[in-house]
Amino acid sequence: MTDPGGLDLFRLDGRVAVVTGASSGLGARFARVLAGAGASVVVAARRADRLEALAGELEGAIAVPCDLADPAGRDQLVGTALDRYGKIDVLVNNAGVGTPEPAESETVERFREVLEVNVTAAFALTQAVARSMLERGSGSVVNVSSILGLVGSGQIPFPSYAASKGAVVALTRELAAQWSRRGVRVNAIAPGWFESEMTAEMFADERSMAWVARKAPMGRAGEPHELDGALLFLASDASSYVTGQILAVDGGWTAV
């Protein structure tokens, strides 16, 4: 019997987790964290070599190289996970794109492309995974939004990315409202400034990092491990009465 107040609530033994955008950065970290908590992890991204290397590190993990913007890629991912494990307990929608660009110069075509990957593809994959979750009456979806889906930055212009992450916030709440009585929880993490491929140039620039230090109440950017607890909380039974929530992990950025 699980201790209602114990750390066992954060364990994922016997569960299957799918993590997208797992070939590098935060996605690879998320996969390692879930595997460390006992989950069998299915990692997905476009770069097969990096994905296979990651899966090789994690006991019981499998890699599914695919393009999630392509319906065939989504079908391949869900089908492979269900064929191998028979179920999906956790979905982490981490895959995303974005390039800083002033609003007056970003093309409409690029705007559409970012929303297609960050919102439409994430919704389509969630829909496909949720069908099996709803049949079983259980599951946890963890979307990865951003503080730019909650507040504007201005000094780092990201119109399409901010719009897409704001849409992820609204989608998270709507799916949670629709599916909560059927056993499927949907929440999101909204990271502040963490180093990744998308932010590598920013982290290499002293002025940018000084700006982050001035703006963040904690006076610094986040360290990769500082998302681990939020991920495990939302993925596991530790958050069994939590749905439709956006958990900002941002050093206080959105509090001021």
| Catalytically annotated residues | 161
Strand order in the sheet with 16-20: 62-65, 40-45, 16-20, 90-93, 139-144, 184-191, 246-249
**Number of H-type helices and E-type strands within the chain:** 9, 7
Query: Please, is 205 exposed, middle or buried when counting C-beta atoms within 10 Å of its C-beta (0-12, 13-18, 19+)?
Result: exposed
Residues ≥6 apart with Cβ < 8 Å to 41: 16, 17, 18, 19, 31, 34, 35, 55, 58, 60, 61, 62
Query: Please, is 214 exposed, middle or buried when counting C-beta atoms within 10 Å of its C-beta (0-12, 13-18, 19+)?
Result: exposed
Q: How far apart are CA 28 and CA 44, in angstroms?
A: 10
Q: Coil, helix or strand for 190?
A: strand
Which alpha helices (H) appear in 17-70, and where do they start and end?
Answer: 25-36, 48-57
Instruction: Give the CA dihedral 205, 160, 104, 255, nearest 10 degrees.
Output: -60
In this structure, what token pair is assigned to residue 122? Answer: 């994430």
Nearest alpha carbon to residue 45 among 60, 71, 27: 27
